[in-house]
Structure 1
Amino acid sequence: MTTMHPTEHKASEPGAGGWYRKSVQQTMTELQTSPAGLSPDEAGARLARVGPNALPARDSDPLWLRFMRHFNDVLIYILLVAAVATALMGHWTDTVVILLVAVINAGIGFFQENKAEKSLAALRGMLSSSAHVVRSGRKMEVDASALVPGDIVVLKPGDKIPADVRLFDVHHLQVEESMLTGESLTVGKHADALDKDALLADRINLGFSGTNVSSGNARGVVIETGAATELGRINRMISNVGESETPLLRQIAQLGKRIFQLIVGMMLALFVIGFFWHDYPFGELLLSLISLAVASVPEGLPAIVSIILSLGVQRMARNKAIIRKLPTVETLGAMSVICSDKTGTLTMNEMTVKGVLLADGIYSVEGQSYEPRGRITFGGVSEPLDWSRHGTLEAFIHAVDICNDSSLQRNDEGRWSVVGGPTEGALKVLARKADLAEAEVRKFGKIPFDSAYKYMARRCDVDGQSLIYLKGAPDVLLRMCQQQLTAAGAEPLDREYWEREMSHIASQGLRMLAAAYKPVPAQNEAIDHEDLQQGMIFLGVAGLMDPPRPEAIDAIAMCKRAGIQVKMITGDHPDTAVAIAGMLGMGDDLRAMTGQELEQADDEQLRSLAMQYSVFARTSPEHKLRLVRALQANQQVVGMTGDGVNDAPALKQADVGIAMGIKGTEVTKEAADMVLTDDNFSTIANAVREGRRVYDNLKKTVLFVLPTNMAQGLLIVMAILAGTVIPLSPLQILWMNMATSTTLSFALAFEPGEPGMMRRPPRNARESILNGFAVWRVLYVGGLLTAAAFLLEAWMLSNGQDTEHIRTMILHTLVTAQWAYMFNCRLQDQFSLNAGLLRNAALLTVTFALILLQCFVIYVPFMQSAFHTVALPFSSWLISLGIGVLVFFAVELEKLVIRRWKASRG
């Protein structure tokens, strides 16, 4: 066979090569192959040229590099410089403690954050491990990675398609492709070329790598392998989607840069003032500036943030939402749009018969999913049916139950499931709901369903009567029938009635399946298509749907109240998608934008359209990715839910990727930021509530930590400007920041959510965590603490106290004032004691821990030696407590003034 290069350049574009538009012969010719397959030598040569049928792996960063990244922070740089300076000066204790603080912060970040990228490995695991091929006319089994374009693949039920193939020699082939297309039903395949452009879900003469054969048999010629397959394109999209930075990380980074700039500016100015004006000795001045740097850096803040986020993760896990990346917790609180897949996320992914249209009228069917529970009613009457008066419905149910290859089963956990196609399974559930007397059935020959003729037929004996049952597409069966069954018996077919009523069913977004029958002589057990051409009697039409999740309706209403838009992005039909969206309460005047319309819009147009539409149908993986990016370009914080492989790139691009834990693929879970263990859409709304609570508590924590750092910095600045002794040593400052501030901040992490939290709009993700009010609060409280410390120092100096006693007392007083201010932070602008102490038991826990820590540093000899502290009498504790109480009421007075000022401004 001659050398070929037909597919080496087609790996980048969807539908490259247009294989679905080419005939089987054209495909064979272009790939230089035949139904007898390639020779082993030619297959080997092509394998060497195009590479193995596998998805490329991406190297992951080593552990040490991932650990070192946690030192890449401007605030940590200040600590490291301070550690080097103290080491050069011989202050080894200070050096060790400062370095220990930096390492602890990095360790917390390293162990709490799981940045491992497992999505590509999970995707590679979806490829088939082996394949049945025909080479040189002989059928053989080979490793799937050895497949090459031009190979002939043999497919049978249960197989995972090992590469993208152009199908030929197709026999009743049904393929489950929801992991790629989002379609909830199996897809019937045929071998005919398509004469127009088609989206992925409509390329019914192709088989795609990683999808599963549900039934039937076929052969196909391999057209793409490895990275060139549809699965490979998703793999590239995941690889090309960069890690997005969360609003919190952006704000913390911005805050760190501002603090860094402030510290450097102050240190330069104070060095000039201290060295040239006050003639400070260089070593003492350098140590003072190091104290300023250590005091001004909120080195405990990264640890506090990690702890608060970790607690949020644990709470969400108990509520069935697994968070894979810590910052996702706070991002949930800023989420303004949720892009949700329909099938299996907003719906049950379990087809259900909702009504049966007969010549005598319409029957309603209650119940959801595959559980065979629910009444069948007629004419709005709720009483059980008298089957002696509903013989037509009984005949229809017998037809769809017997002409059916599926079965209904219940697992040990009580969950019902279907073995076979979801549509046939829904008809089995209907039969169980009817609870008819069991008929004596003997099944004979059948004609399996095929998309070429769109029906299935079976010859059987039912209670001694020989019948042919026919089940399939309504338009096909109407053409094959001349009569219809009514309560009075067989009558001429009223085609106008059926078409009018079916149009009404279609407008509700229901799928339809029809049934017919005819009596036949008992002597022949075989069946052929010719047997269906005369005498068929039309029975009726079942209207089926994949029903909305009841809990999803409530969750969408909750999201609306919270100012969060919900958008449905699905591969399903537009009419079906709009109907389901209406049932979910997503809006009244809903319209769907299709994938083809989306492709015609450029990025600028899509930015506008993405905000206008709530339903997007017939979408591909690229469409979902573009939509997420378009929404993000509108400054939206986007959440994306999904369960199929086709959702993975968009999940990774979204600010919050949300995967379904039960029905979701491993690829989707690994690409996501959050996994729902119950596949319950309402869990998202609960997670948003938790995200808002966590962000509120983070903001309270920042407003708690920064005033203390400001007070410490001001103490040193004012001491240098005045030319006096520095009130606190670097180690005492580190103790206050890490041991006490972190302990007290821990209590704020347990604060419950504030009333009305889910009735306010999402916060502006671009707004700094330090808005105008927050800056004022930091300045006000920092000034209070600084004034209290200086007044206390002046009083103690006038009483002749020594330096170590004064420093110990200032340290203890600032810690006590922090403890008092912690209660102020519980409510931002309300009287804090209204929150109630018993609502947060952690307040009492951290108070007890703080007392122990202060006793440890003040009274234990080796701690006194390390931190240069002295024992304080009980009267000093009372003085510190009194100052703390004064700080508390001063802040509450400020809240009262601001409340009245806001009220006066309307």
Structure 2
Amino acid sequence: MGSLQPHQHSTGLWYRKSVDQTLAELQTGTRGLTPDEAQARLLRVGANALPAKAVDPAWLRFARHFHDVLIYILLAAALATALMGHWTDTLVILAVAVINAAIGFFQENKAERSLAALRGMLSSSAHVIRDGAKLEIDAAELVPGDIIVLRPGDKIPADVRLFEVHHLQVEESMLTGESLTVAKHAEALDHEAQLADRTNLGYSGTSVSAGNAKGVVIGTGAATELGKINRMIATVDETETPLLRQIAQLGKRIFQLIIGMMLALFVIGFFWHDYPFGELLLSLISLAVASVPEGLPAIVSIILSLGVQRMARNKAIIRKLPTVETLGAMSVICSDKTGTLTMNEMTAKQVLTASASYAVEGQSYEPKGRITLAGATEPLDWAAHGNLAAFIRAVDICNDSSLQRDDSGRWSVVGGPTEGALKVLARKAELAEIEVRRLGKIPFDSAYKYMARRCDVDGEPLIYLKGAPDVLLRMCEQQFGSAGVEPLDRAYWEREMSHIASQGLRMLAAAYKPVPGAGGDIDHPDVQQGMVFLGVAGLMDPPRPEAIEAIAMCRQAGIQVKMITGDHPDTAVAIAGMLGMGNDLRAMTGQELEATDDEALKAVAMQYSVFARTSPEHKLRLVRALQANEQVVGMTGDGVNDAPALKQADVGIAMGIKGTEVTKEAADMVLTDDNFSTIANAVREGRRVYDNLKKTVLFVLPTNLAQGLIIVMAILAGAVVPLSPLQILWMNMATSTTLSFALAFEPGEAGMMRRAPRNAHESILNGFAVWRVFFVGGLLAAAAFLVEAWMLGQGQDTDHIRTMVLHTLVTAQWAYLFNCRLQERFSLNAALLRNGALLTVTLALVLLQCLVLYVPFMQTAFHTVPLSFGNWLAALGIGVLVFFVVELEKLVIRRWRARH
């Protein structure tokens, strides 16, 4: 036995091998491994645990926030001022750089915990048979070849090939996305099967709902299906959001512009105007500091943080700041079906008897909703529908589940979801109470596909039978019609059931027969003949009503919605139709997807709206294919099977109530109400946030440009620079950041959700934005030179001139803030009153300017002098003039666009 190299590379083929083949290949037997052999295998294979991912130390994550070209310029400026002995300048510039890094560090997603959460899903203990003895061991000590025992309530501790299966039902929705439990058996399969159809395997992390079994371990740790998902999560690279890409591009362009200007001005100032080297260097440092929008990272973080808070109030928890803005660019939402678009609660929607078809109202497990004749609205006269009442009694009595209601009023089912749906149906019928004495039963098993119950109903001995319609029809020669028992009309049932199946409903049938005699036992021969067919129930996991509305809103906003599910294609297409996902819907299956290469998948991913019978690998490939089509992809889900695709997507969206911890940790956003419509509201908020970010950039950059132009013009003219480096930093950090805060509170503009998603690759500075920056920057620079000329004419000293230029630029910037509220329309509208932050920042600005102008230590640090009331009025007049000139420019551009 010692030469065994366990098959740790794939569980994909075990389902096609017999139990004897599997045991032989793993060199084990039904008595299990010996303790020595188990220990030897453990040393070779390793523990049954998922590998942990190394996390970078905090100092390194903090240091990364200095890796930005604009921060490099500030650090270089700090070094230069230190070498020149200007220590105040050095300390202020360094403080700005450190503050920006600290904001980024604390706002970023904290340590990646998705793999830790995944490891937490593994079972902690296992019942094994070793050398014929049953033991309970730590699940980490399991090895391939171990024999394990499974009981109801157990979490399966490793991937296993099952044998000795007794009515085993396993809940696998975390891996497959299917809401129904899976009936397991021990026979080998003779065909290729997707993960959800490998009914002789048990998977690590899934739960035993009912029944017992033994199985041989075929994969542990990283070699399990859960381990594959773990590897996929670990290898998915973090995608950079559109905003971060654009801010990085903007930074590089500003960097190139600054370096070019500094080199040119050094040559002009040193060789042409004979500037003293120290004075020239200080002027160039002023230029660098002036041109760097060092407050922008802080402003972006603040606006995104406010967006996060607003979304949290609206049931969407954002885990990564840039996600807020990415939501606004989202062009495709890939949604899991079960529990996301649907209720994840089976519901009876239709009942078919020999005489009529009935519609059942209501959603979920709440026992509310009428039962009516199909197409009718009036209540039923139960006396005329005895065969319907008989069917409902049968599925209620031949049933092991029960309904319960928690303290919050939420209804749930104890037992299987299908049986639970039939219990809800019985409660909706509100039939008269009867006395039932339950006797023997035949439990459901996938081998024969039915359950039977012997009982006394009001003293009458009966057998009730419930199961697959095709199986029950073979056992019946009669049916229960409106007038009583009559010959079975097989053609009628097959025709009507075909219609039910076309609606994507799952079907379950019931039959009965009287059994004279006093015995209580029941066996298979008792139900093989003489049964009377009662009817068929059509069941489904119904779509969420709010999801229908949300999908319509998304489609109106130009966002495609695609369903990616592990469920059957027919069911998926039927649900997609009910959700309003489009006409002429077709499903592509996981098997078809596997046969499609990556290049062909790019086209297919855009064509289809429904993908069924998919595995975690399929979901990941689909997200990547859509991203290859330049789409900004959102992916929703609640099961472990969704986690890799959630992490790959531009926006991973997890369900907060029914979602697993793994999914939540891998996601960018968690919906606390599991409501698809919350996504549509989040998209609206994302678009509002992006609009406000763009307004902020258009507010901040003209000021930087104006400061740069002032210094450039002064050097070219050989004159004294009218602003010092610290005054420039004051204007950028204390005033720009304060004022731009108000733009974060601007309400969304009209028609926001009727426009197509923006191009995520389009620069935040398009042609119009560049024009606005240069136009306003030039306007502010001209105002500064106008003030400087006026003050020089009055014979004022350098400090007084610089103070007045600083105050004028700050006031003009405050006036321009109101221009930025609306990019193209007149800014003084009714919505102005809805933004109280405008008044707050105005008062804060007045206070800050009073500090820098009138407090002695601030005057010393920033080289300012007190200004008179007349100076304040002059600055205010220039600000008002700037506002109306920009509004006039908006009007001209608006009319020009209307004509063209």
Q: Distance in 2 between matches of 1:723 and 1:836?
A: 47
The letter of the residue matching 2:416 is G
Q: Distance in 2 between matches of 1:246 and 1:767?
A: 13
**Aligned partner of 1:592 among 587, 595, 613:** 587
| Deviation of 1:382 (Å) | 2.5
Q: 2:747 touches 2:831 (CA, 8 Å); kept in 1? A: no
Counterpart of 1:816?
811
Q: Distance in 2 between matches of 1:167 and 1:438?
A: 43
Q: 1:826 touches 1:835 (CA, 8 Å); kept in 2? A: no
The letter of the residue matching 1:884 is G
Q: Distance in 2 between matches of 1:411 and 1:385?
A: 31
**Aligned partner of 2:469 among 474, 483, 502:** 474
| Deviation of 1:6 (Å) | 3.0
Counterpart of 2:4?
4
Counterpart of 2:723?
728
| Deviation of 1:194 (Å) | 0.3
**Aligned partner of 1:377 among 362, 365, 372:** 372
Q: May I ask how many residue pairs the two structures share in their alignment?
A: 900
Q: Distance in 2 between matches of 1:247 and 1:788?
A: 36
**Aligned partner of 2:166 among 171, 186, 197:** 171
**Aligned partner of 1:199 among 194, 208, 226:** 194
The letter of the residue matching 2:876 is L
Deviates further, 62-71 or 182-191: 62-71
Q: Secondary structure at the match of 1:832?
A: coil
Counterpart of 1:565?
560
- 1:607 equivalent in alignment to 2:602: yes
- 1:215 equivalent in alignment to 2:225: no
- 1:718 equivalent in alignment to 2:713: yes
**Aligned partner of 2:181 among 186, 189, 192:** 186
- 1:357 equivalent in alignment to 2:352: yes
**Aligned partner of 2:63 among 58, 63, 68:** 68
- 1:324 equivalent in alignment to 2:319: yes
Counterpart of 1:678?
673
Deviates further, 408-417 or 388-397: 388-397
TM-score with structure 1 setting the length: 0.99
Counterpart of 1:647?
642
The letter of the residue matching 2:170 is V
**Aligned partner of 2:860 among 849, 865, 872:** 865
- 1:533 equivalent in alignment to 2:528: yes
**Aligned partner of 1:738 among 733, 743, 764:** 733
Q: Secondary structure at the match of 1:242?
A: coil
Q: 2:562 touches 2:610 (CA, 8 Å); kept in 1? A: yes
Q: Distance in 2 between matches of 1:527 and 1:64?
A: 71
Q: Distance in 2 between matches of 1:686 and 1:438?
A: 47
Residues 147-204 of structure 1: CA deviation (Å, up to 9, x unaligned):
0000001001000000000000000000000000011100000000000110000000
The letter of the residue matching 2:501 is A
Q: 2:452 touches 2:463 (CA, 8 Å); kept in 1? A: yes
| Deviation of 1:521 (Å) | 2.0
Q: Distance in 1 between matches of 2:830 and 2:753?
A: 18
Q: 1:827 touches 1:835 (CA, 8 Å); kept in 2? A: no
**Aligned partner of 2:793 among 795, 798, 809:** 798
The letter of the residue matching 1:461 is D
Q: 1:445 touches 1:525 (CA, 8 Å); kept in 2? A: yes
Q: 2:590 touches 2:615 (CA, 8 Å); kept in 1? A: yes
| Deviation of 1:616 (Å) | 0.3
| Deviation of 1:68 (Å) | 1.0
Q: Distance in 2 between matches of 1:480 and 1:225?
A: 44
Q: Secondary structure at the match of 1:364?
A: strand
Q: Distance in 2 between matches of 1:835 and 1:119?
A: 46
Deviates further, 609-618 or 383-392: 383-392
The letter of the residue matching 2:442 is I
Q: Distance in 1 between matches of 2:146 and 2:831?
A: 73
Q: Secondary structure at the match of 1:631?
A: helix
The letter of the residue matching 1:551 is E
- 1:661 equivalent in alignment to 2:656: yes
- 1:703 equivalent in alignment to 2:698: yes
Q: 1:306 touches 1:326 (CA, 8 Å); kept in 2? A: yes
- 1:874 equivalent in alignment to 2:869: yes
- 1:390 equivalent in alignment to 2:385: yes
Q: Secondary structure at the match of 1:168?
A: strand
Q: 1:456 touches 1:470 (CA, 8 Å); kept in 2? A: yes
Deviates further, 388-397 or 324-333: 388-397
The runs of 5 or more residues in structure 2 that have no matched partner are none
Q: 1:642 touches 1:658 (CA, 8 Å); kept in 2? A: yes
- 1:276 equivalent in alignment to 2:271: yes
- 1:121 equivalent in alignment to 2:77: no
Task: Report 1:89-108 matches (<5 A).
Answer: 89-108=84-103
Task: Report 1:404-419 matches (<5 A).
Answer: 404-419=399-414
**Aligned partner of 2:762 among 751, 767, 780:** 767
Q: 2:511 touches 2:534 (CA, 8 Å); kept in 1? A: yes
**Aligned partner of 1:852 among 847, 851, 856:** 847
Q: Distance in 2 between matches of 1:764 and 1:509?
A: 37
Residues 554-594 of structure 1: CA deviation (Å, up to 9, x unaligned):
00000011000000000000000000000000011100000
Task: Report 1:234-273 matches (<5 A).
Answer: 234-273=229-268
The letter of the residue matching 2:872 is W
| Deviation of 1:380 (Å) | 3.3
Q: 2:151 touches 2:211 (CA, 8 Å); kept in 1? A: yes
Residues 79-134 of structure 1: CA deviation (Å, up to 9, x unaligned):
01111111111111001100100111111111111242100000000000000000
Q: Secondary structure at the match of 2:745?
A: coil
Q: Secondary structure at the match of 2:368?
A: coil
Q: 2:304 touches 2:325 (CA, 8 Å); kept in 1? A: yes
| Deviation of 1:379 (Å) | 4.6
Q: Secondary structure at the match of 1:766?
A: coil
Counterpart of 1:837?
832
**Aligned partner of 1:634 among 629, 632, 648:** 629
Task: Report 1:127-142 matches (<5 A).
Answer: 127-142=122-137
Q: Secondary structure at the match of 1:475?
A: helix
Q: Distance in 1 between matches of 2:82 and 2:554?
A: 55
Q: Secondary structure at the match of 2:822?
A: coil
Q: Distance in 1 between matches of 2:35 and 2:872?
A: 89
| Deviation of 1:768 (Å) | 0.1
Q: Distance in 2 between matches of 1:527 and 1:94?
A: 93
| Deviation of 1:381 (Å) | 3.3
Q: Secondary structure at the match of 1:858?
A: helix
Q: Distance in 2 between matches of 1:193 and 1:837?
A: 71
| Deviation of 1:220 (Å) | 0.3
Q: Distance in 2 between matches of 1:887 and 1:656?
A: 41
Residues 649-694 of structure 1: CA deviation (Å, up to 9, x unaligned):
0000000000000000000000000000000000000000000000
Q: Distance in 2 between matches of 1:281 and 1:84?
A: 19
The letter of the residue matching 2:250 is L
The runs of 5 or more residues in structure 1 that have no matched partner are none
Structure 1 stretches of 4+ with a deviation exceeding 6 A read none
Q: Distance in 2 between matches of 1:381 and 1:289?
A: 83
Residues 376-420 of structure 1: CA deviation (Å, up to 9, x unaligned):
001533333222221111111111011111110000000000011
Task: Report 1:46-57 matches (<5 A).
Answer: 46-57=41-52
Residues 510-561 of structure 1: CA deviation (Å, up to 9, x unaligned):
0000001111023110000010112111000000000000000000000011
| Deviation of 1:257 (Å) | 0.3
**Aligned partner of 2:153 among 149, 158, 174:** 158
Q: 1:460 touches 1:468 (CA, 8 Å); kept in 2? A: yes
Q: 2:315 touches 2:673 (CA, 8 Å); kept in 1? A: yes
Q: Secondary structure at the match of 1:193?
A: coil
- 1:310 equivalent in alignment to 2:305: yes
**Aligned partner of 1:287 among 282, 291, 307:** 282
